[in-house]
Amino acid sequence: MLSQEEIQNINSSLRTMLKENGFDWVLAQVEDEILRGREQTVSVKEIDLNEAYFDVLEKKSISNEKFVIAEAYSIEEELQLLLNAIAKGICEPYQMANSALDFISTSVEGKPEFILASERPGEEVSISAGQLQLLREKALKLSELIREIQNDLNNANTE
């Protein structure tokens, strides 16, 4: 079973790697989600209220009301969020590009190339099947490695 310390270490190693390789934006979006917390709609009975305050409130008057609460994620959940984000933001885009290029190739002669271009000259990013071929294999490998850690985490939770 993974200890809290191991989970913490994996989390911090992944964060460092993302920063070092220019994937800070993945981290930023995960941080936003962690800050928001896990939202849930619960009845007042399920909220951990200070007992003294509860007495003042006259709990009967609000016992049927629903409230939205945000709970902090556990460190396992934070790691899961980070692993999911790596899969979504770094691995899946290769499948996405491939799917769109493949479909478009059925309507043009030759291999299509997408140019993502702003109106300003020189600002463009090219995406073609040829460029992506090798990287797609790397992305696939990364998703397998991510899945391996996710499985370890899930097994640790069920043990």
Partner 1 sequence: MPIRNDILVEIGSTLGSLAGSNLNSYSALDNLYEVYIFSLILRACRNQGGHFTLRNITATHRGTRMYFRTAPGYISSTTRNYTYADLNFVNKPPLEAHVSIRCTGQSTVLHEADVCVLFKSEAELCRMARARVAPKSAKIIITAETKFYTAALGLHLGRSFLGLVSDFSSDFPIFITNTNSDSIEKLLSKRGKHWEHKITPSNVGDVNRLIGIFETAFKGFKAKH
Interface residues toward partner 1, by CB under 8 A: 2, 6, 10, 13-14, 17-18, 21-23, 25-26, 29-30, 32-33, 36, 39, 81, 84-86, 88-90, 92-100, 103-104, 107-121, 123-127, 131-132, 135, 138-139, 141-142, 145-146, 148-149, 152, 155
Amino acid identity for residue 70 in this structure? A
Write the burial class of residue 84 (CB in 10 Å: 0-12 exposed, 13-18 middle, 19+ buried). Answer: middle
Please state, in angstroms and rounded to a whole number, the distance separating the CA atoms of residues 147 and 139. Answer: 12
* CA distances from residue 84 to 27, 107, 116 in whole angstroms, order as listed: 11, 34, 26
CB atoms within 10 A of CB 94: 20
Give the C-alpha separation, 101 to 129, whole Å. 7
Minimum distance from residue 56 beta carbon to partner 1 (Å)? 30
Q: What CA–CA distance (Å, rounded) separates 82 from 96?
A: 20
For partner 1, the closer of residues 56 and 108 by Cβ is 108
CB of 90 to partner 1, least distance (A): 6
- Give the nearer residue to partner 1 in terms of CB position, either 63 or 99: 99
Nearer to partner 1, 57 or 77 (CB): 77
Nearest approach in angstroms of CB 46 to partner 1 is 17
Nearer Cβ to partner 1 (55/102): 102
At closest approach, how far in Å is the CB of 8 from partner 1? 13
Calculate the CA dihedral of residues 31, 33, 36, 38 and round it to 10 degrees: -130
**Residue 93 near residue 80, CB atoms below 8 Å:** no
CB of 59 to partner 1, least distance (A): 27
Comparison of 5 and 51: residue with beta carbon closer to partner 1? 5
